[in-house]
A = this chain, B = another copy of it.
Amino acid sequence: MNSDTSLQSILTNPAHPPEISAKTCPLERLGRLLRGTWTLQVLWVLGEGRPLRFGDLRTVIEGISAKVLTERLRFMEHTGLIWRCHEEGVPPKVTYGLTEVGTELHDGLKRLGRITDKLPPE
């Protein structure tokens, strides 16, 4: 009764229901880690250059507000992607840089960026 071997038939008449479930999706954490505007930019500038101070980050990431930059830096420090070095004094100096895992993530994301280059321009 199922002699149709066309692509459509194969695709739309699976013998069994899917066994996959998104509940075990290993990308959820990655998604939470990178969610929010500017996160990828922060990761990128820190990965491409050297550690940067708060003011430097505000400058090189054109358009980001102090509020959101602070939020991102706090969160990324909390998750272990970046470290924060607070030098006491007046005025204070605070420097941020990638951790080892942060660097690995930066490198991996750069590779992914090269994949998306294969897509037609938007």
Bound: A29/B53 CA distance, A: 26
How many copies are assembled? 2
User: How far is B108's CA from A108's CA once the two chains are assembled, in angstroms?
Assistant: 8
Determine the interface band of chain A, counting residues with CB < 8 A from chain B.
Answer: 35 or more
With A18-B50, A41-B25, A45-B25 given, is the CB distance from A119 to B80 under 8 Å? yes
Q: Is the interface of A mostly helix, strand, loop or mixed?
A: helix
Task: Give the contacts of A69-122 with B (CB-CB under 8 A).
Answer: 79-81, 85, 87, 93, 95, 97, 101, 104-105, 108-120, 122
Which among B27, B33, B60 is the interface contact of A22 at CB below 8 angstroms? B60
A56 touches B113 (CB 8 A): no
Q: Across the interface, which residues of B come within 8 angstroms of A30, CB to CB?
A: 40, 109, 112-113, 116
